[in-house]
């Protein structure tokens, strides 16, 4: 996403900062499905938008969904121009695949499951070949530097050297494109860099945050002792693989008429409930695929073998994993946040396109559409006066990250702010994250706690179940609550204070957009 915007802005000077070397530590490179785009004959942007709205459980902004769907074709053409080798059919037209909850075949892909890597490779090559783009790798952004209520720059710190002096960059236009929050959870499919730092940085500067409670969980991550956990793709269940518990029982048949092929959030809840009841869960492909496993699913096969499991003859141990954040920094249709000089794009942002549940392969689409819009917006309103930073705005203090506290935060997110939630567990999580947020002397962990607090406090405040947000104490969707959450860090802290002060909380609510 930053690579795309930076390339678009050339020849204007742009600095790209990345915590990991470009191409590493990014969910984009791991995307296996592709990009949703209504480019096939008989399909339409309207049909794509309707599917997006249906998936989002009443919270998708219909005009935003339609705008995304309409711009998809143009953005796919841009990527072709950058050299992304999307698969084509025998007539040379873009080949399109089908994914869950899409009413048409509309996923453009590269060599089957290589779309993300191909997009990253092409964009990185374009960025490295553009003289106006400076790339700083191995530095994490840790704070926005504010001047007179607007963005004046960014504070960075070298990865792996917590006590090093921070580095500052003065700039009147900052784009946060730091990805998701999966690594706030103990079990996730996301890279370690997806730890919610960008969202925290914006929130700490006062930005409005939207829908943070909505986190999508993938039902079948492979439990092979790896962090992040590799995916056992949904296509395995499409091929007939079944979910069983450690007694060999197929538990999904009792939960939904479609059993293992039920919607993603329902399967995730079924798997989570079995695990919470002390029964292990396995994906059994021994009968459905057997000896054909390696040839049909080479990536999953390799992940299993690395963990000492032969999926042709043995069931694969699985668990739900944090996969995608629907919420984020609230932005308008140009990617502008509520803070002057701050834009956000990709998974760290909340545009209103996903509502309470993301439709498969819409996230890469959203990232490229907003990358282009943000670049156009910045080009159109670039300030002539260079930013100046007063030394007072820079905080030097930092201490090494307390690893045990980080592990506790991630465990609390998985157990209390995960697939199945309830008021007591959420309140406990809110109090724990508020303590870390207030007292931790390591900036990265404090930022992680800031984002965790926003997610937990908004989940505590939403007294219903909707989309990916499920509460046992409020198990039904309430029509009166079909509104997006608009909140701030100040509100989240107020909720934490009320939960800490007394047993009967004052019940401060985030604003509803």
Give the residues lining the site for ligand FAD (CB under 6 A).
1, 17-20, 25-28, 30-34, 116, 140-141, 177-180, 189-190, 193-194, 197-198, 231, 324, 346-348, 361-364, 367
Radius of gyration for the chain, computed over Cα atoms and rounded to the nearest angstrom: 22
| Smallest separation (angstroms) from ligand FAD to the CB of 422 | 27
* 165-190 burial code (b ≥16 CB/10 A, e <16): ebebbebbbbbbbbbbbbbbbbbbbb
Toward ligand FAD, which CB reaches closer, 95 or 499?
Answer: 95
Q: What is the spatial distance between Cα 289 and Cα 297, in angstroms, rounded to a whole number? A: 10
Q: What is the pairing mode between strands 133-137 and 14-18?
A: parallel
Instruction: Give the chain's length.
Output: 513
CA dihedral 100, 102, 104, 109 (to 10 degrees): -70
Toward ligand FAD, which CB reaches closer, 377 or 496?
Answer: 377
| Smallest separation (angstroms) from ligand FAD to the CB of 141 | 4
Burial class of 352 by CB neighbour count within 10 A (0 to 12, 13 to 18, 19+): buried
**Is residue 74 within a helix (H) or strand (E), and if so which, with residue range?**
helix 62-81
| Smallest separation (angstroms) from ligand FAD to the CB of 143 | 10
Toward ligand FAD, which CB reaches closer, 20 or 224?
Answer: 20
Q: What is the DSSP string of 219-267?
A: EEEE-SS-SSPPB--THHHHTT-EEEETTS---GGGT-TTGGGS-HHHH
| Smallest separation (angstroms) from ligand FAD to the CB of 34 | 5
Q: Which residue is nearest to ligand FAD (CB)?
A: 346
Q: How many beta carbons lie within 10 A of that of residue 51, not counting itself?
A: 22
| Smallest separation (angstroms) from ligand FAD to the CB of 250 | 26
**Is residue 96 within a helix (H) or strand (E), and if so which, with residue range?**
strand 96-97
Toward ligand FAD, which CB reaches closer, 367 or 440?
Answer: 367
Toward ligand FAD, which CB reaches closer, 65 or 244?
Answer: 65
Toward ligand FAD, which CB reaches closer, 127 or 499?
Answer: 127
Q: Supply the angle between the helices 423-439 and 443-461 in degrees, to the nearest 10.
A: 150
Catalytic residue among 75, 106, 264, 269: 264
Q: What is the DSSP string of 448-513?
A: HHHHHHHHHHHHHH--S-BTTB-BSSS-S--GGG-S-EEE-HHHHHHHHHHHHH-SS-----PEE-
CA dihedral 53, 27, 198, 462 (to 10 degrees): 40
| Smallest separation (angstroms) from ligand FAD to the CB of 97 | 10
Toward ligand FAD, which CB reaches closer, 51 or 427?
Answer: 51
Q: What is the spatial distance between Cα 280 and Cα 315, in angstroms, rounded to a whole number? A: 11
For residue 228, cis peptide bond before it (omega within 30 degrees of 0)? yes
CA distances from 408 to 26, 94, 421, 457 (A): 24, 46, 17, 18
Burial class of 376 by CB neighbour count within 10 A (0 to 12, 13 to 18, 19+): middle
Active site residue 264: yes
| Smallest separation (angstroms) from ligand FAD to the CB of 116 | 6
Toward ligand FAD, which CB reaches closer, 76 or 426?
Answer: 76
Q: What is the spatial distance between Cα 14 and Cα 328, in angstroms, rounded to a whole number? A: 24
Toward ligand FAD, which CB reaches closer, 177 or 186?
Answer: 177
CB 119 within 8 A of CB 371: no
Please give the angle made by the CA atoms of 68, 69 and 70, to the nearest 5 degrees: 90
HSE-CB of 442 using CA atoms within 13 angstroms: 19
| Smallest separation (angstroms) from ligand FAD to the CB of 311 | 18
| Smallest separation (angstroms) from ligand FAD to the CB of 507 | 33
Provide the annotated active-site residues: 264
């Amino acid at each position: 996403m930053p690579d795309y915007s930076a390339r678009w802005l050339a020849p204007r000077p742009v600095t790209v900062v990345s915590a990991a070397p470009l191409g590493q530590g990014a969910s984009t490179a791991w995307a296996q499905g592709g990009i949703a785009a209504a480019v096939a004959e008989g399909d339409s942007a309207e049909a794509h938008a309707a599917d997006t709205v249906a998936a989002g459980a009443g919270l998708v902004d219909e005009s935003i969904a339609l705008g995304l769907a309409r711009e998809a074709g143009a953005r796919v053409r841009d990527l072709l121009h950058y050299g992304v080798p999307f698969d084509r059919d025998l007539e040379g037209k873009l080949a399109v695949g089908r994914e869950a909850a899409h009413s048409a075949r509309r996923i453009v892909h590269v060599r089957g499951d290589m779309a993300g890597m191909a997009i990253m490779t092409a964009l990185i090559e374009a960025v490295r070949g553009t003289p106006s783009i400076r790339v700083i790798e191995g530095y994490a952004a840790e704070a926005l530097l504010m001047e007179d209520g607007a963005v004046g720059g960014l504070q960075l710190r070298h990865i792996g050297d917590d006590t090093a002096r921070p580095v500052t960059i003065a700039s009147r236009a900052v784009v946060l494109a730091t990805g998701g929050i999966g690594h706030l959870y103990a079990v996730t499919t996301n890279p370690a860099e997806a730890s919610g730092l960008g969202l925290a940085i914006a929130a700490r500067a006062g930005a409005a945050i939207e829908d943070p409670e909505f986190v999508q969980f993938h039902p079948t991550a492979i439990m092979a002792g790896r962090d992040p956990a590799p995916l056992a793709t949904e296509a395995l269940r499409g091929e007939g693989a079944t979910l069983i518990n450690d007694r060999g029982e197929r538990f999904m048949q009792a939960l939904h008429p479609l059993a293992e092929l039920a919607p993603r959030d329902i399967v995730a809840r079924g798997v989570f409930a079995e695990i919470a009841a002390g029964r292990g869960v396995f994906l059994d492909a021994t009968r459905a695929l057997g000896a054909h496993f390696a040839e049909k699913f080479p990536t999953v096969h390799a992940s299993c073998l690395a963990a000492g499991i032969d999926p042709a003859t043995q069931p694969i141990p699985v668990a739900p994993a944090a996969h995608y954040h629907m919420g984020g920094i609230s932005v308008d249709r140009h990617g502008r946040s509520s803070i002057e000089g701050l834009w956000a794009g990709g998974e760290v942002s909340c545009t209103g396109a996903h509502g309470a549940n993301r439709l498969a392969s819409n996230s890469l689409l959203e990232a490229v559409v907003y990358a282009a819009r943000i670049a156009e917006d910045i080009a159109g309103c670039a300030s002539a006066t260079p930013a100046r930073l007063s030394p007072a705005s820079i905080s030097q203090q930092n201490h090494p990250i307390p690893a045990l506290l980080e592990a506790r935060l991630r465990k609390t997110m998985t157990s209390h702010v995960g697939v199945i939630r309830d008021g007591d567990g959420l309140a406990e999580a809110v109090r724990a994250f508020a303590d870390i947020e207030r007292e931790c002397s390591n900036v990265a962990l404090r930022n992680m706690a800031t984002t965790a607090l926003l997610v937990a406090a908004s989940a505590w405040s939403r007294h219903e179940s909707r989309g990916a947000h499920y509460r046992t104490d409020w198990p039904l969707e309430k029509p009166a609550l079909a509104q997006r959450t608009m909140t701030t860090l100040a509100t989240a802290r107020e909720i934490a204070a009320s939960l800490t002060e007394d047993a009967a909380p004052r019940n401060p609510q985030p604003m509803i957009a």
